[in-house]
């Protein structure tokens, strides 16, 4: 099935993926943080829908085309095995007349947009991020996929800082251009290459323009062509020269060599990677630059660029002439207007903070043990020796849970949580940063080991609210576990855990707890309860 099962405060997609919180949304749908009830891990689930939910009624051909394009894109993307490309786990497709759901990894380090909200980044850091995104684009281009919407919100950061390119939902796939509506040029205006705005399909070089404009914004702290309205921004991208950056050092010359309107005059991916590697390493040696023709782009490549050896300065002296807007066709103007309908993120922000991740979202994807329930602990920053418990055999008792909570609070110096889950042998928690209602650090408490601080940090997402655990009656946990054993229809369970369901303003979900059981045959069930231990819902496993 492609629709979610509805229940009081509960949506489950395909009988397996329970939606927990909205991470963000844009013109092509909404992304949710979800719990995989079979594999007991956190995932990101993208609900693919056009802005107009009645599209299937008055324009069934366009609705069919959208579904086919997304399915082709997701299946092609699933074949890309690259560490800088988000991993697709599963596609839920209900057939004609429905829209797909795409299940993917959940990256927990926030987006590049979140990082840039803290201020500009140094050129070397931007070059490192750029190389990771460039590697992802190269892998996608090799598979015949153009991204078409490279921007800070679509670059996610793993806990170690490595970038992951996501949201290929509007990607064009080579030899399937018939699946793109005539005139429906889609993308975020700020970062879209001028040839795409003018109504041309573009190619790999168009994605490189978007990458370079993103890095320019990252280092300079502003977008050079953003104006007060979407149409004004489109006109600026089409008609105005990119002003030379002032904070970027040698990286600025690299970026200016890409931000030329003739796609054929832009450097190749391999050459661009070599230049970025020079910047990342801190070396300022002269590199092979790219000489751009001076003819402005008017819809077709003006010729082939010729490599020349010089310090990277070519981008500043060979800017296209003004007057480019005169070459824009009537169809292109219509395409520009369609941008307003297709892809402006929720809230009308064209500044790159929309797309699949929302402001404050902890974003997609991670192999973090706090999310997956894996016995492996996150790398420790330090460890408490005062909170070890070498006598207990399980934490799933009232005393065991209290011991874990006390140890986590003492070690972190905090008493508010963003997440709290207890297994037999360890407890994981998101501990809120003092003075903040959104930022958290991760901690793990283990029997016989004590508390370990994880390397993962993040912000609460999609209406989630911080909470304290003072009002919970942990004495009811043994009784709840026994009730779960009797009512959840899970034969010989080999995994069990208790999690606190945080309050969520988006869903109107109150604070509570849940007991989960599963076995080696993927039978899984759970029951919900109030903080005082009163059962409010029982969801048994299916036979």
Identify the residue with better confidence: 172 or 250. Answer: 250
Choose one of 323, 342, 361: the last residue of a domain.
Answer: 342
> Does some domain include residue 218?
yes
- 137 plus 279 within the same structural domain: yes
Choose one of 327, 342, 357: the last residue of a domain.
Answer: 342
> Which residues have a Cβ under 8 Å from the Cβ of 77 and sit 6 or more positions away?
85, 88, 140, 143, 145, 168, 171
Confidence of residue 199 (pLDDT cuts 50, 70, 90): confident
How many domains is the chain partitioned into structurally? 3
- 139 plus 261 within the same structural domain: yes
Confidence of residue 100 (pLDDT cuts 50, 70, 90): confident
- 97 plus 156 within the same structural domain: no
Q: For 420-436, what is each residue's pLDDT tens digit?
A: 989 888 898 989 999 99
Angle at 34 between CA 484 and CA 153, to 5 degrees: 160
> Does some domain include residue 367?
no
pLDDT of residue 445: 93
pLDDT of residue 57: 56
pLDDT of residue 495: 82
Confidence of residue 461 (pLDDT cuts 50, 70, 90): low
> Does some domain include residue 356?
no
| Residue 180: both structure tokens together | 């793109």
Choose one of 104, 121, 153: the last residue of a domain.
Answer: 104
Interhelix angle 269-281/204-220, rounded to 10 degrees, is 20
pLDDT of residue 191: 92
Identify the residue with better confidence: 309 or 244. Answer: 244
pLDDT of residue 296: 35
- 496 plus 378 within the same structural domain: yes
pLDDT > 90 in the chain, percent: 33
What's the chain's average pLDDT?
74
Closest-CA residue to 97 (of 37, 56, 156, 51)? 56
- 303 plus 433 within the same structural domain: no
Average pLDDT over residues 438-458: 84
Distance CA 245, CA 247 (A): 6
CB 484 within 8 A of CB 396: no
Residue 422: strand pairing partners: 427, 498
CATH number, domain with residue 181: 1.10.510.10
| Residue 233: both structure tokens together | 């921004």
Confidence of residue 539 (pLDDT cuts 50, 70, 90): confident
Q: List the single range of 140-149, 206-215, 335-344, 372-381 with lowest mean pLDDT.
A: 372-381
pLDDT of residue 175: 37
pLDDT of residue 482: 95
Q: Does the structure show a pLDDT above 90 at 336?
A: no
Distance CA 96, CA 50 (A): 15
Q: For 234-279, what is each residue's pLDDT tens digit?
A: 888 888 889 999 889 899 999 999 999 889 899 999 999 999 999 9
CB atoms within 10 A of CB 125: 16
> Which residues have a Cβ under 8 Å from the Cβ of 457 and sit 6 or more positions away?
109, 159, 439, 440, 441, 442
Cα dist from 221 to 121, 214, 339, whole Å? 8, 10, 25
- 458 plus 316 within the same structural domain: no
The active-site residue, picked from 114, 149, 253, 441, is 149
> Does some domain include residue 15?
yes
Helix (H, G, I), strand (E, B) or coil at 184: coil
pTM comes to 0.54
> Does some domain include residue 216?
yes
- 170 plus 48 within the same structural domain: no
- 407 plus 528 within the same structural domain: yes
- 338 plus 472 within the same structural domain: no
> Does some domain include residue 355?
no
Q: For 386-414, what is each residue's pLDDT tens digit?
A: 444 445 689 999 999 999 999 999 999 99
CB 541 within 8 A of CB 489: yes
- 405 plus 296 within the same structural domain: no
- 41 plus 170 within the same structural domain: no
Confidence of residue 170 (pLDDT cuts 50, 70, 90): low
Distance CA 47, CA 322 (A): 42
User: Distance between terminal CA atoms of the chain?
Assistant: 19
- Verify whether residue 399 is a known catalytic residue: no
Interhelix angle 123-142/269-281, rounded to 10 degrees, is 160
| Residue 465: both structure tokens together | 């609210």
pLDDT of residue 282: 79
pLDDT of residue 281: 86
pLDDT > 70 in the chain, percent: 68
pLDDT of residue 521: 67
- 239 plus 332 within the same structural domain: yes
Distance CA 368, CA 159 (A): 9
Cα dist from 433 to 343, 358, 370, whole Å? 35, 20, 17
- Residue 10 domain boundaries: 4-104
Average pLDDT over residues 224-238: 84
Q: Does the structure show a pLDDT above 60 at 61?
A: yes
> Does some domain include residue 165?
yes
Identify the residue with better confidence: 166 or 353. Answer: 166
Which range, 156-170, 176-190, 304-318, has the best average confidence (pLDDT)?
156-170
CATH number, domain with residue 36: 3.30.200.20
Which range, 187-191, 294-298, 327-331, has the best average confidence (pLDDT)?
187-191
> Does some domain include residue 84?
yes
Helix (H, G, I), strand (E, B) or coil at 116: helix
Identify the residue with better confidence: 225 or 144. Answer: 225
Q: Does the structure show a pLDDT above 80 at 121?
A: yes
User: For the residues of 504-542, what is the DSSP string, one character each?
Assistant: BTTTTBPSEEEEEEE-TT--EEEEEE-TT--EEEEEPPP
């Amino acid at each position: 099935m492609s629709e979610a099962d509805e229940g009081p405060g509960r949506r489950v997609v395909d009988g397996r993926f329970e939606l927990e919180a909205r991470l963000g949304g844009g013109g092509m749908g909404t992304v949710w943080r979800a719990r995989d009830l079979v594999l007991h891990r956190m995932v990101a689930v993208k609900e693919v829908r056009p802005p107009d939910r009645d599209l299937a009624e008055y324009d069934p051909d366009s609705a069919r085309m959208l579904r086919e394009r997304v399915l082709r894109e997701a299946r092609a993307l699933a074949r890309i095995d690259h560490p800088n490309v988000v991993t697709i786990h599963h596609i839920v497709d209900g057939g004609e007349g429905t829209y797909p759901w795409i299940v993917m990894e959940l990256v927990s380090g926030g987006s590049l947009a979140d990082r840039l909200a803290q201020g500009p980044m140094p050129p070397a850091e931007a070059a490192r991020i750029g190389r990771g995104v460039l590697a992802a684009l190269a892998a996608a281009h090799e598979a015949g996929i153009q991204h078409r919407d490279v921007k800070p919100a679509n670059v996610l950061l793993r806990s170690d800082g490595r970038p992951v390119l996501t949201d290929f939902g509007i990607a064009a796939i080579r030899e399937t251009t018939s699946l793109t509506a005539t005139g429906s040029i889609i993308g975020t205006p700020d970062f879209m290459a001028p040839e795409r705005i003018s109504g041309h399909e573009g190619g790999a070089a168009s994605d490189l323009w978007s990458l370079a404009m993103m890095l320019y914004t990252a280092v300079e702290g502003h977008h050079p062509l953003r104006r007060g309205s979407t149409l004004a921004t489109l006109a600026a991208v089409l008609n105005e020269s990119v002003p030379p950056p002032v904070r970027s050092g040698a990286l600025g010359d690299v970026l200016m060599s890409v931000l030329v309107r003739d796609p054929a005059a832009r450097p190749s991916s391999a050459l661009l990677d070599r230049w970025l590697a020079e910047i990342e390493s801190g070396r300022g040696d002269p590199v092979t630059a790219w000489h751009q023709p001076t003819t402005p782009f008017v819809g077709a490549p003006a010729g082939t660029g010729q490599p020349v050896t010089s310090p990277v300065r070519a981008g500043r002296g060979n800017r296209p002439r003004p007057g480019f807007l005169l070459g824009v066709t009537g169809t292109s103007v219509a395409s520009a207007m369609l941008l307003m309908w297709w892809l402006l993120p929720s809230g009308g922000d064209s500044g790159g903070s929309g797309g699949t991740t929302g402001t404050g979202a902890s974003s997609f994807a991670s192999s973090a043990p706090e999310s997956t329930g894996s016995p492996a602990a996150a790398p420790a920053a330090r460890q408490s020796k005062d909170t070890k418990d070498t006598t207990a055999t399980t934490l799933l008792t009232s005393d065991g849970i209290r011991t874990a909570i006390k140890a986590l609070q003492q070690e972190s110096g905090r008493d508010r949580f963003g997440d709290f889950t207890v297994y037999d042998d360890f407890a994981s928690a998101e501990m809120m940063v003092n003075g903040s209602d959104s930022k958290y650090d991760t901690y793990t408490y283990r029997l016989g080991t004590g508390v370990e601080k994880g390397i993962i940090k993040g912000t609460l997402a999609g209406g989630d609210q911080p909470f304290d655990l003072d009002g919970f009656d942990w004495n009811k946990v043994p009784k709840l576990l026994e009730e779960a054993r009797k009512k959840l229809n899970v034969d010989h369970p080999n995994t069990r855990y208790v999690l606190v369901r945080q309050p969520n303003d988006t869903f109107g979900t109150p604070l509570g707890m849940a007991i989960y059981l599963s076995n080696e045959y993927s039978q899984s069930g759970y029951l919900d309860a109030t903080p005082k231990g009163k059962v409010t819902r029982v969801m048994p496993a299916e036979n």
